[in-house]
Chains A and B, each alone.
Chain A
Amino acid sequence: MKYLALILELCLISTILIIVGINVNSQSLTCQNPPIETSTGGKAWPPNQTINVYVQASDFPSQTERDAINRAFNNWQSSGGTIGNGSGVSFNVTFVSALPSPRPTGAMSIQRNTTATTGAYTNISTSGSYVNDTITNIHPNVTDPNELAGIMAHEIGHTFGLGNCDYPDCSSGGSIMASRTCQGSPNFQTCNALGVNGTFGPYPGIQGPTTCDNNIVRETAGYGNQCIDNDFDGVCGFLDCNDSDYNPDDICFGTGCDPVEKQDCKSRPASQGGGGAMLPAHANASLEPFAILRLLYS
């Protein structure tokens, strides 16, 4: 009788756990996976690094603007833990009278710039396997604190290897990388006109990374010393040109496969993405305890 009660108790706990698990899974489905930033190869800040963020103080004079910028960085920093993206990256934000020039390694500069016709853009410089330094330009018309925080968080997402997620793949609230100019609009010309007129489209509706954003950052950057077998070949990381199961038809660029481009892959030197060098964080990776659960619920 004692054992029977124990078994029934275990059954009850298991059932509750499964129900909770399914609920967590269905909640995570409400977010949307952004693409990897193809142009940088998904490179991100080195793990566990403190990034010095220099903000042009005269461009952001009000406390509400400064709070908005700080909020975006805080949201990314608080997502850098084990249950987030695992980056361990922290940000040291300071408002300065002049931005450092040239930019030091591991630094991010932020200023206002009328050339940011899409609301904002970031110039991301990479060296080796990582992001080295960046400068973000935000249009002077972006003054609403919620919009400013959303745009800033979106640009930070780029520095973690995430690309823009266009409608309808991403919608407001699903990913911080949802493209601002086309939120919820099925008509590209109509929604793009928002940007052209200088009024700008809605911000992503959130001010920090979603679960999906963190999952993609973790997988792409290889944070957390984990092994993700992206191409299901039994080896950590993405498919590479010299993998044994490499097929020229596998190599795709951007929006579609280009039969001329894909033939370039095998002859390309390692410095240009060929040669099959694996992302360093993956090279000595071991299977993280939560990786299987993460895969199941991603």
Chain B
Amino acid sequence: MNAYKKTAFSLVTLIILGITALVAFHTQAARTQPRKLRPQIDKTQFPIADYVAPEPSDNGERARRRARSKKYDKSAWEIYPASRNDLTVRTHSDVELLPALPTVQSSVVIIGTVDKANAYLSDDKTGVYSEFNIRIEEILKTDKASLSSGNSLMAIREGGQVKFPSGHTQVFFAAKERMPRVGRRYVLFLKCTDEAGVFNLLTGYELRAGKVFPLDEPKQFSIYQNVDEDPFINEVKGSLQTQ
């Protein structure tokens, strides 16, 4: 009888100890996990397009703007002025398909600083795109004789912020794409358009305080997060030479 009682007592004690250890282990594991942060998007990175902005008064400029804006017509963004939405996000985009250094996919690779940023609606006002005026510091790759250091070029990326007549604003962007910031310095990978001096922005890396920060979020770009600037530039140049 006593032997049975002892066995039972031992078993119960073991089980209680086991459960306590399991709970303690999980609690400790939870406490040592990194703190989860609520994700946030900084809307200030997106240039603003005025929904009722007047067209340029100059005939040539107006024709150029219309031709450029037409490329973004029939956009899947489907901008509605009566919308009360605060943002519209595209879940996938071509940036996911790029390698970390898209030198092959780029027609132009430069180091430059963003001078100016503006956003415009498509000609039919269903889409929005952002334009960045880039002052060229160094050209790493080009097939355009017209480009030279000290000059500027225009980089375009789909998306931006739209301000409606009501004063309400709505941001449109692709989930893992970010916008370059005015005053900051980047290595930019660009693709030609049919317009001279105007390029589509494939991706880029910000150069700040001797370090490198990917502009866009897909995982392949993160291998260069916080690496030193000089070795990174050398790697880009090396990648261009092996093409």
Contacts and interface: CB of A to CB of B under 8 A. Distances in A.
A256 B213 contact: yes
A188 B220 contact: yes
A265 B40 contact: yes
A115 B78 CA distance: 14
B85 A125 contact: yes
Contacts of B30: 232, 295
Q: Which of B33, B91, B213 is the most central at the interface, judged by chain A CB atoms within 10 Å of its CB?
A: B91
Contacts of A240: 38
Contact of A41 (B18, B41, B214): B41
A11 B12 contact: yes
Contacts of A37: 39, 89, 91, 175
B31 A255 contact: no
A8 B8 contact: yes
A153 to B, nearest CB: 13
Nearest to B88: A125
A173 interface: no
Contacts of A189: 99
A261 interface: yes
A265 B44 CA distance: 12
Contacts of B38: 41-42, 230, 237-240, 273, 279
Interface in A111-167: 113, 115-128, 132-133, 135, 137, 155, 158, 163-164, 166
Contacts of B8: 4, 7-8, 11
B15 A181 contact: no
Interface string B199-235: 0000000001000011001111110011000000000
A199 interface: no
B11 interface: yes
A284 B30 CA distance: 23
B100 interface: yes
Q: Which of B31, B214, B219 is the most central at the interface, judged by chain A CB atoms within 10 Å of its CB?
A: B219
Interface in B1-57: 1, 4-5, 8, 11-12, 15, 18-19, 22-23, 26, 30-31, 33, 35-44
Contacts of B222: 255-256
Contact of A102 (B80, B173, B218): B80
Interface stretch (A62-70, A86-94, A246-254): A246-254
B39 to A, nearest CB: 4
B231 to A, nearest CB: 18
B40 A118 contact: no
A281 B66 CA distance: 45
A286 to B, nearest CB: 20
A261 to B, nearest CB: 6
Contacts of A39: 39, 41, 87, 89, 173, 175-176
B239 to A, nearest CB: 12
Interface in B94-109: 94, 96-100
B37 A195 contact: no
Given A40-B87, A181-B97, A135 B35 contact: no
B97 A192 contact: yes
Given A11-B12, A188-B100, A230-B36, A123 B86 contact: no
A41 B40 contact: yes
Contact of B37 (A11, A133, A166, A250): A250
A118 B87 contact: no
Interface of B: 1, 4-5, 8, 11-12, 15, 18-19, 22-23, 26, 30-31, 33, 35-44, 76-78, 80, 82-94, 96-100, 173, 175-176, 178, 208, 213-214, 217-222, 225-226
Interface of A: 1, 4, 7-8, 10-11, 14-15, 18, 36-42, 101-103, 113, 115-128, 132-133, 135, 137, 155, 158, 163-164, 166, 169, 179, 181, 188-189, 192, 195-196, 230-232, 237-240, 250-256, 258, 260-261, 264-265, 268, 271-274, 279, 295-296
30 contacts: A7-B8, A7-B12, A8-B8, A11-B8, A11-B12, A14-B15, A37-B91, A37-B175, A40-B87, A40-B175, A102-B83, A118-B97, A123-B76, A123-B77, A123-B90, A124-B89, A125-B85, A128-B86, A132-B85, A137-B76, A163-B175, A166-B218, A192-B99, A240-B38, A251-B40, A258-B213, A260-B208, A264-B44, A265-B40, A279-B38
Given A132-B84, A274-B40, 16 more contacts: A10-B12, A11-B12, A37-B91, A40-B89, A117-B94, A117-B97, A118-B96, A125-B88, A126-B86, A181-B97, A232-B35, A240-B38, A255-B217, A260-B208, A273-B41, A296-B23
